[in-house]
Amino acid sequence: MAELFSIFLSLPIMVIQALNIIKSYGDLSVLNSISISIKKAEIVSIVGQSGAGKTTALQIMGTLLKADSGTIEILNTNIANLTEKQLSRFRNNNIGFVFQFHHLLAEFTALENVCIPAFLQNVSKRKAETRAKELLDFLNLSHRMHHKPSELSGGEQQRVAVARALMNNPAIIFADEPSGNLDSKNKTELHELFFSLRKEFNQTFVIVTHDTSLAELSDRVISMQDGYIISD
């Protein structure tokens, strides 16, 4: 019995289990019964040509898009059992997003942009700003916190977006082509940052990317083609 218990404790903790996911738009099949399991604190890259279904898979696992069929469990929660309001709360509490286009609000400062997820949880302004300042300091952006996006470089804007994704200390970060608009230096810094964040906060990263250097650094690479997983 003790041996069995020891084996059980050594099993990896799955934070995402997507089983037999199908997604179509009319006659166009985008995902063809794919299954993906991702462990806690794993950095996984999803690669493939444009149209392979990478972003659709990420959006479904990130609860931004509904599958036509199949099941999604995130942190042992079956997403299909949640109401829209519960799903929104679950997403804000447990998931962070980083996109190719930063989606920062132009009229807000870096600090204010980072605070937004906390404000959605009705966290006090003082508490939210304290957390945001800690994150911006960790990302070497303390001196830029009162600047608006138009006053920041591309790399700085992306780091602000990363800080915003981390604001509620989510278990999982989904990133869709996060280095797509960055130059080589900023790409390298962003890639190194993901691994620093995993080490610091023990978070799971699921990254859709065309960047082979980032994919090669990942713990695991999932290759997709025409809506199928061709290697994992």
Report if residue 8 sits inside a domain.
no
Q: What is the pLDDT of residue 67?
A: 93
Burial class of residue 29 (count of CB atoms within 10 Å of its CB; 0-12, 13-18, 19+): middle
Split the chain (232 residues) into runs of 10 and give each run's mean pLDDT: 48 82 91 92 89 91 92 91 90 84 84 90 90 88 91 86 86 83 73 82 87 82 92 80
Does residue 184 sit within a domain?
yes
Domain around 92: 40-67+82-231
8 Å CB contact between 95 and 174 = yes
Model pTM? Answer: 0.82
Burial of 205 (C-beta count, 10 Å sphere; 0-12/13-18/19+): buried
Does 101 fall in a domain? yes
What pLDDT sits at residue 232?
Answer: 78
Question: Does the residue 11 lie in any domain?
Answer: no
Angle between helices 154-166 and 184-201 (to 10 degrees): 20
Total structural domains within the chain: 1
Quick one: pLDDT at residue 114? 92
Q: Half-sphere exposure (CA, 13 Å, Cβ side) for 66?
A: 10
**Distance of alpha carbon 149 from alpha carbon 8, whole angstroms:** 48
CATH number of the domain enclosing 59: 3.40.50.300
Residue 109 domain-assigned (yes or no): yes
Residue 130 resides in a domain: yes
Q: Has residue 9 been placed in a domain? A: no
Report if residue 31 sits inside a domain.
no
